[in-house]
Copies of this chain bind each other. A is one copy, B any other.
């Protein structure tokens, strides 16, 4: 096992009605004037933003509002948020929404207290300081509610990049599964696919003898395989929503990813899909992951056949390649069952786009022409992965 640091100081308030404690939590964590950051009108129409405002008012917290965060959140709104926070003397950001809103809030939080361009953090500079962020989560997917990560799309060139730092781990996160019961089946399935991807990316490691985190990751994957189809059949079931919500956090706060190398190539390959076709990130991952696995699995037959047996229940007949290919088929069947696309054309993609996609993934924003992960992939190899999605 590799040396590591793990720090997850987020206070989680989980359960029915917890959003009504937003104001108390902002106060507990030192906020006096908050920015309520959110996406489209649904959070307003549902009454959620109203409940959050009531709660802030009761706790004596002043606030400003900034809505309009889109899926695959954009740099333009981040700049706007930073200006607003500085002008209004905001000292706390309350993100009400899913991963996109939270990631946008984290970018604003880091950018507000930074002298340079916030994009520096998305070009490799580690975030050391930020305003505190609290979240009221409405989608179980990205795990941003418990992570020190944020992904933003730069409108100047339309590439999607990530930033990290313990400073952007939320001070608190409110997880009320009730808030996710109105989410339509498609977005619910996108979330489940994202959670599965976060687990796979930690599972695909070159580090040996990591039994404890292996078993934890497998356990979380098994929970998603059980709960995923169940929630699609019964979108309003509280316990199923609750299981998925906690798994989404655990999949990405990194307690099951520590001490081992991780592989984020698939996320990097997907990011160009959601940027180029403006599809949901989860849908892009459903298309990417089986294609990616079928391209790289030969590099560690032991690891992937362990996954086949323990996660997908494939019988151990000694033929590791066949076992892995069967597991990838079961993974695809699972994604199809919950309503996810499996091919590039379902996202609106065409074979002639592949050169552009691979160039963006491998050379955009200063990359050196390769992707580095479980396996190093050249631009030509990345094209091969995209071709497997056809």
Residues of A at the B interface (CB closer than 8 Å) are: 1-16, 18, 177, 208-220, 222-223, 226-227, 238-240, 242-244, 246-247, 250, 255, 258-259
Query: Are B210 and A215 closer than 8 Å at their CB atoms?
Result: no
Contact of A216 among B7, B15, B216 (CB under 8 A): B216
Q: Which residue of B lies closest to A18 (CB)?
A: B3
Q: Nearest chain B CB to A199's CB is how many angstroms away?
A: 11
Q: Nearest chain B CB to A257's CB is how many angstroms away?
A: 11
Query: Are B259 and A1 closer than 8 Å at their CB atoms?
Result: no
Identify the 4 closest CB pairs spanning chains A and B, nearest first. A3-B15, A219-B219, A215-B219, A9-B9
Query: Are A11 and B5 closer than 8 Å at their CB atoms?
Result: yes
Query: Are A211 and B2 closer than 8 Å at their CB atoms?
Result: no
List residues of chain B with CB within 8 A of the CB of A226: 211, 215
List residues of chain B with CB within 8 A of the CB of A211: 223, 226-227, 243
Query: Are B213 and A246 closer than 8 Å at their CB atoms?
Result: yes
Identical copies of this chain, number:
2
Question: Given that A220-B216, A222-B215, A243-B209 are known contacts, is A14 also in contact with B9, CB under 8 Å in the complex?
Answer: no
Query: Are B5 and A12 closer than 8 Å at their CB atoms?
Result: yes
List residues of chain B with CB within 8 A of the CB of A223: 211-212, 214-216
List residues of chain B with CB within 8 A of the CB of A5: 11-14
Query: Are A15 and B11 closer than 8 Å at their CB atoms?
Result: no
Query: Are B15 and A243 closer than 8 Å at their CB atoms?
Result: no
- Which of A11, A214, A219, A246 has its CB near the most chain B CB atoms (within 10 A)? A219
Query: Are A209 and B3 closer than 8 Å at their CB atoms?
Result: no
List residues of chain B with CB within 8 A of the CB of A13: 5
Q: Nearest chain B CB to A333's CB is how many angstroms away?
A: 20
List residues of chain B with CB within 8 A of the CB of A1: 14-15, 177, 238-239, 242-243, 246
Q: Nearest chain B CB to A365's CB is how many angstroms away?
A: 32
Contact of A15 among B2, B18, B209, B255 (CB under 8 A): B2
Query: Are A246 and B212 closer than 8 Å at their CB atoms?
Result: yes
Q: Nearest chain B CB to A219's CB is how many angstroms away?
A: 3
Q: Nearest chain B CB to A49's CB is how many angstroms away?
A: 22
List residues of chain B with CB within 8 A of the CB of A239: 1, 208-210
Query: Are A209 and B240 closer than 8 Å at their CB atoms?
Result: yes
List residues of chain B with CB within 8 A of the CB of A250: 212, 216, 255
Query: Are A210 and B15 closer than 8 Å at their CB atoms?
Result: no
List 4 additional A-B contacts (Cβ < 8 Å) besides A5-B13, A209-B240, A211-B227: A1-B246, A6-B11, A210-B243, A217-B219
List residues of chain B with CB within 8 A of the CB of A255: 250, 255
Question: Could you jot down 9 A-B contacts, CB within 8 Å?
Answer: A2-B15, A3-B16, A6-B14, A7-B11, A8-B9, A15-B259, A209-B240, A246-B259, A250-B255
Query: Are B11 and A247 closer than 8 Å at their CB atoms?
Result: no
Question: Given that A3-B18, A259-B246 are known contacts, is A216 also in contact with B213, CB under 8 Å in the complex?
Answer: no
A208 vs B237: C-alpha distance when bound (angstroms): 13
